[in-house]
């Protein structure tokens, strides 16, 4: 056995170290170091069952990751960094590295989107991503379409809001930004479907000039932007688990029809009373 730990405990910790990011050789070496004050590299290789030609690479990696340290005496020795220091510091560095990588990937992705959109537009005969009618079933894509159209709105935003309600702080921010741009925002809510948190958020909307009315029921979920384009969300009637499919449109006739539908329901609605705390 490569160290003084019981076999079962050794195997358990060896696997756990690999789960957090160390490889098999690094995990074995660290477990040996944890159980002893210090080791020469080749002594550690024999004890941890690491090939002699690999041990210096393994130790350099453990030092870089913060799990081992060099002890300078007559010869170069290695010892373990205390686990309560090594593991939190390791994850802090990994978190910073991952955040940096994500930032870089996001920047590359933005450039890639522009390049691929140009190719897509050519491949679609010049119609591109603003095709007048598209079906979107993936929730994240639906959210991205909503945010894009909301950020581009300049005159009016209309919404049929019915359960299930999405609690999305980004949507709140987009509505606030729209109001700052002078966009008129009108929301229609179904009576008796709001929880306390949603009422609080709507009260904040009302405080910044959003018009919120209520009706007994709504036929669908709708978001309409500047009377020109929008998004209709329909509940799938076939599958047992509730799922929404969105129709994204940029079509004058359909926009006019949806605007007429909204105004018809708005005329029959009443302002929604919200109790202030």
What tens digit of pLDDT does each residue of 89-106 get? 988 888 888 888 888 887
pLDDT band per the 50, 70, 90 thresholds, residue 125: low
Residue 39 DSSP SS3:
strand
Q: What token pair was written down for 48?
A: 């941890």
What are the boundaries of each domain within the chain? 7-87, 130-271
Give me 241's structure tokens.
């688990």
Q: Are 63 and 30 in contact (CB under 8 A)?
A: no
Which fold would CATH assign to domain 130-271? Endonuclease; Chain A (3.30.870)
The DSSP annotation for 184-250 comes to: EEEEEEETT---HHHHHHHHHHHHTT-EEEEES--SSEEEEETTTEEEEEEE-SSSSS--EEEEEEE
The pLDDT tens digits for 228-239 are: 999 998 776 555
Same topology between domain 7-87 and domain 130-271: no
183 and 159 in contact (C-beta within 8 Å)?
no
The CATH-assigned architecture of domain 7-87 is Orthogonal Bundle (1.10)
For the chain, the distance separating the N- and C-terminal CA atoms, rounded to the nearest angstrom, is 66
Strand 156-161 and strand 184-190: the pairing is parallel
270: CB partners within 8 A, 6+ apart: 213, 214
Distance of CA 58 to the CA centre of its chain: 35
pTM of the complete model: 0.54
**Residues of the chain above pLDDT 90, percent:** 38
């Amino acid at each position: 056995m490569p160290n003084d730990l019981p076999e079962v405990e050794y195997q358990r910790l060896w696997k756990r170290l690999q789960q957090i990011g160390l490889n098999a050789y690094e995990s074995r070496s660290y477990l040996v170091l944890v159980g002893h004050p210090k080791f020469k590299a080749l002594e550690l290789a024999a004890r941890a069952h690491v090939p002699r030609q690999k041990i210096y690479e393994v130790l350099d990696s453990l030092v870089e990751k913060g799990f081992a340290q060099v002890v300078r005496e007559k010869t170069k020795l290695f010892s373990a960094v205390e686990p309560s220091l090594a593991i939190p510091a390791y994850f802090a560095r990994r978190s910073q590295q991952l955040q940096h990588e994500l930032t870089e990937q996001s920047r590359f992705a933005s450039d890639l989107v522009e390049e691929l959109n140009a190719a897509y537009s050519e491949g679609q005969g010049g119609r591109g991503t603003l095709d007048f009618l598209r079906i979107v079933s993936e929730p994240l894509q639906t959210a991205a379409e909503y945010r894009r159209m909301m950020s581009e709105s300049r005159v009016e935003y209309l919404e049929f809001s019915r359960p299930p309600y999405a609690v999305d702080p980004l949507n709140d921010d987009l509505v606030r930004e729209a109001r700052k741009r002078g966009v008129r925002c009108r929301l229609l809510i179904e009576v008796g479907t709001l929880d306390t948190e949603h009422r609080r958020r709507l009260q904040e909307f009302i405080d910044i000039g959003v018009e919120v009315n209520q009706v007994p029921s709504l036929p669908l979920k709708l978001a309409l932007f500047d009377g020109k384009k929008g998004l209709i969300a329909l509940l799938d009637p076939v599958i047992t688990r509730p799922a929404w499919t969105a129709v994204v449109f940029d079509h004058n006739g359909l926009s006019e029809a949806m605007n007429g539908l909204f105004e018809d329901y708005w005329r029959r609605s009443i302002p929604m009373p919200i109790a202030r705390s």
